[in-house]
Amino acid sequence: MEPTSLTFRERAAAALEDPVLRTALRRLESGWQQGRARAAAALPEFEALRDAGVAIKDHVLAHLDLYLEIFERRFTEAGGVVHWARDAAEARAIALEICRKAGAKTVTKSKSMVAEEIGLNAFLEANGLRVVETDLGEYIVQLAGEVPSHLVGPAVHMTRERIAELFARHHGGPPKQESAELVAEARRILRERYLEAEVGITGANFLVAETGSIVTVTNEGNAELTQGLPRVHLVITGIEKVVPTVEDAFTLLRLLARSATGQEFSGYTTFLTGPARPDERDGPRKMHLILLDNGRSAMVGGPFREMLRCIRCGACMNHCPVYLAAGGHAYGWVYVGPMGSVLTPQFAGLERTWTLPTASTFCGRCQEVCPVRIPLPKLMRLWREEAHRRHLPPPVARYGLAAWAFLARRPALYRLATRLAIAGLGLLGRRRGRFSRLPLAAGWTASRDLPAPAGVTFHRLWKARRRNHA
């Protein structure tokens, strides 16, 4: 997927005028934001749990090679096949090869952000496969020909009416009125697909090194049907998802649901270890796992290492005033909100996405609620530094900054220049106390008045006071 992040501002401005999106985002705020607050308050050890989550992730990242090798061994012993993919293209090629070998025509898929990251659906479809999303939100987004607008709720930007209209167009029949009817309709259609599919593709929330298990979390049970019914189960995930033990996975699971939706635990959590044994009647005959690097191993040794702690809960976006104003699609790529503003430049290139890390007031709420305490503002600032080094911001911003810096580094000249400017502005603004319009301040005065300065700087007043006291 080509990023369109450079038009973030324009897309966000349009989103602000979209009443459907406004309703949806308000619901997100009142639902999941308050849900997290309630869940965190109800658990006395929540802060200690966050510390434990950080410790697990930091430990794994310090010994990533070790745990990946242990995991690979256990996963293989359990009967699975591991494929290492250096980048998106390799991962796509491996996935296609697995589907072809399985003689697949139809592939079912439960929600996987890594599959979105590598653009898997479009690639498989271009190669003649029919790909069916089974997470309800993803299914809706797929029917609409859109991309997810939220990490946890891909279709949070849609209303029931819109979904009813989509379903009627794709499934036939009159548009349904009730949510329950829509869910039942999707379930009926998806049940047929589960049975038709030769390959089921899932992501993984965690990989457990000590057992070689993959862990999936859903609220719909669609991952279980996706991985259990077709002959071949293909898992695609990033290398940072490995944890040492089952207990570690549970620590992170307790954080994940509470931070994401305010649930104590998600509806369905499955630990899956290998394909069906020879004497078992149910389950896939073959199980493959694609472990994607795509820049992650380079992050381990670099300044963005802390970002690899992310467990994809979406709390940062649920609490981000910029995300809640702009909506997910304004971000222009797969990952959205504060975590997206850090990850997208990494995966899609800073040249095409440098605007994202600038779209933050650094209010710090994302870091405040992040279950694994990722310093998101600090990481966004690091990208701004890189963008500044590469001269990516437009000349007007760079020259403005340079002019200010020139003065700020020369206090005597700064005092003189500001004294004159402030005296002038003070005089001009004396009567109204504010300016509705001012040269060079259009960005401010488009929607705000500029409060007029008093006309005398503090440093002048202070000098006068010192003279009087002397």
Partner 1 sequence: MPDQPRVALFVTCLVDLFRPSVGLAAVELLEAAGCRVEVPEPQVCCGQPAFNSGDRATTEAIARQFIPALEPYDFVVAPSGSCAGMLRTHLPELFDSDPAWKARATALAGRCHELVSFLVDVVGFEGLPARLEARATYHDSCSGLRELGIKAQPRKLLAGVAGLELVEMGRPEVCCGFGGTFCVKYPEISTRMVDDKLADAEATGAELLLAGDLGCLLNMAGRAARQGSRLAVRHVAEVLAGKLEEPPIAAPREKG
Question: Could you say whether residue 385 binds partner 1 (CB under 8 A)?
Answer: yes
Q: How far apart are CA 116 and CA 149, in angstroms?
A: 12
Q: Which residues of 354-374 are buried (b: 16+ CB within 10 A; e: fewer)?
A: bbbbbbbeeeebbbebbbbbb
Residue 386 touches partner 1, criterion: CB under 8 A: yes
Q: Which residues, including other chains, have CB under 8 Å from residue 400's CB and lie 6 or more apart?
A: none
Asked if residue 395 binds partner 1 (CB under 8 A), the reply is: no
178 lies in the site for partner 1, by CB under 8 A: no
432 is a contact residue toward partner 1 (CB under 8 A):
yes
Count the residues of the shown chain that bind partner 1, applying the rule CB under 8 A.
63
Residue among 80 and 327 whose Cβ is closer to partner 1: 327
Binding positions for partner 1, 21-50, rule CB under 8 A:
none
Binding of residue 315 to partner 1 (CB under 8 A): no
Plot region of 217 (φ>0 → left; ψ -120 to 50 → alpha; else → beta): beta
| Least gap, CB of 326 to partner 1 (angstroms) | 6
Residue number with CB closer to partner 1 (46 or 250): 46
d(CA 350, CA 146): 23
Task: Point out which span in 108-116, 166-174, 279-287, 456-464 binds partner 1 (CB under 8 A).
Answer: 456-464
End-to-end Cα spacing for the chain: 69
Cα(164)–Cα(393) distance, integer angstroms: 43
CB-CB contact of 222 with 134 (8 Å): yes
Q: Say if residues 344 and 282 touch (Cβ distance below 8 Å).
A: no
Q: Does 361 bind partner 1 (CB under 8 A)?
A: yes
Q: Are 198 and 105 in contact (CB under 8 A)?
A: yes
x/- string (CB under 8 A) for partner 1, residues 267-306? ----------------------------------------
The CB-of-347 to partner 1 minimum distance in angstroms stands at: 20
Q: Does 384 bind partner 1 (CB under 8 A)?
A: yes
Is 325 among the residues that bind partner 1 (CB under 8 A)? yes
Backbone angles phi, psi at 335, to 5 degrees: -95, 135
Q: How far apart are CA 428 and CA 437, in angstroms?
A: 12
Q: Figure out which of the listed residues 3, 5, 12, 371 binds partner 1, where binding follows CB under 8 A.
A: 12
* Positions that interact with partner 1 (CB under 8 A): 9, 12-13, 16, 321-322, 325-326, 358-365, 367-368, 381, 383-389, 393, 397, 401, 404-405, 407-409, 411, 414, 418, 422, 429-434, 436, 443-444, 446-454, 456-462
